[in-house]
Structure 1
Amino acid sequence: MPEEAKWYVVHTYSGYENKVASNLEKTVENRQLQDLIQEVRVPTEMVTEVKDNKTRQVERKIYPSYVLVKMVLTDESWYVVRNIRGCTGFVGPSSKPIPLTDEEVARMGVEVRQVEVSYEVGDSVRIVDGPLDGFVGTVEEMNTEKNSVRVTVSMFGRETPVELELDQVEPAE
């Protein structure tokens, strides 16, 4: 059985990101390669754009000219991805694919990790990561969709609200 799938970055011609992604998905389906090439993504974000005094929501590519592919690297999967029309190669030294690290995947927001929390609004929590490591505060607000929690911390005699990720805090004893 092949090893675990990892995320790779594929470079494409400018403006061909969606075409490369759809062609790759069709090829994977036609050749029954779902176990080797598991997911293809073109990361996008919603941006508010003002044009001619009108505001509108526009979907913009976060990494233009790049497509992210979650796959098990074999000669066959490399060949399939490399020979998609519009693809110029993998990101890495001399086009040798280098997988993204778990830290890079998390920072880029490619995979959304579900964080199980054992605290609620109003609970006392200890910050375990970041510049406020070791501080204790009270949970004011939680947003599991955005993976964020607002904690009120007492600093220099003042109550200060701090925006953190869910896994940066734990219940205080």
Structure 2
Amino acid sequence: MLDSFDKGWFVLQTYSGYENKVKENLLQRAQTYNMLENILRVEIPTQTVQVEKNGKKKEVEENRFPGYVLVEMVMTDEAWFVVRNTPNVTGFVGSHGNRSKPTPLLEEEIRAILVSMGQTVEDLNLDFKEGDTVRIIDGAFTDYTGKITEIDNNKVKMMITMFGNDTLAEVDITQIAEL
């Protein structure tokens, strides 16, 4: 039986420009080595940017983190071996060498990345409701606390006290945490 703390999102370092090939190889290897229950998702965070070429503007998708691939996996010895020995993978970020297993991304970090990619995040343990007092953990209002007044999709409106006055702040749901 696997513990829930064995599952997490990990960052793979790859040769720059080989991110899509690593994703393809990793998904193929997961199937070949019967690791589909351990290697769950592979994502390459992208963003849409406007580029001008020959006087014409067009939108293109580019990697947000060139040379890195995100993988959601259950960190077993076998899965770790399959992933780190995938062609063009140079290692895990957060591994301290000497065959030590890497540390996963924090839940807030991966939520922010996935939401910015336009993906819905299913595993959010968001028990926030109107009237809850929460702390802002990211953005311009970091470390302010306040009461939630409205929740709409991934946006939270809350009252914070700033310079002695109550102020309405709107933040992303990934930017708040329980007190």
The normalised TM-score by structure 1 is 0.71
Matches within 5 A, 1:1-173: 1-4=1-4, 5-91=7-93, 92-94=95-97, 96-100=100-104, 101-109=106-114, 112=121, 113=124, 115=126, 118-119=129-130, 128-130=134-136, 131-134=143-146, 139=150, 143-144=152-153, 147-150=154-157, 162-166=169-173, 168=176
Identity %: 36
- In 1, the alpha carbon distance for the partners of 2:85 and 2:19 equals 14
Aligned residues, how many? 160
Deviation at 1:16, TM superposition (A): 0.5
One-letter amino acid matched to 1:93: H
- In 1, the alpha carbon distance for the partners of 2:109 and 2:177 equals 21
Partner of 1:122: none
Uncovered stretches (5+) of structure 2, i.e. residues with no partner: 137-142
- In 1, the alpha carbon distance for the partners of 2:148 and 2:35 equals 49
- What whole-Å deviation, never above 9, does each CA across 1:28-56 have from its counterpart, x for those lacking one? 11222111211111111222333444332
One-letter amino acid matched to 1:133: T
What is the root-mean-square deviation of aligned Cα atoms in Å?
3.3
Deviation at 1:7, TM superposition (A): 1.4
Larger Rg over CA atoms: 1
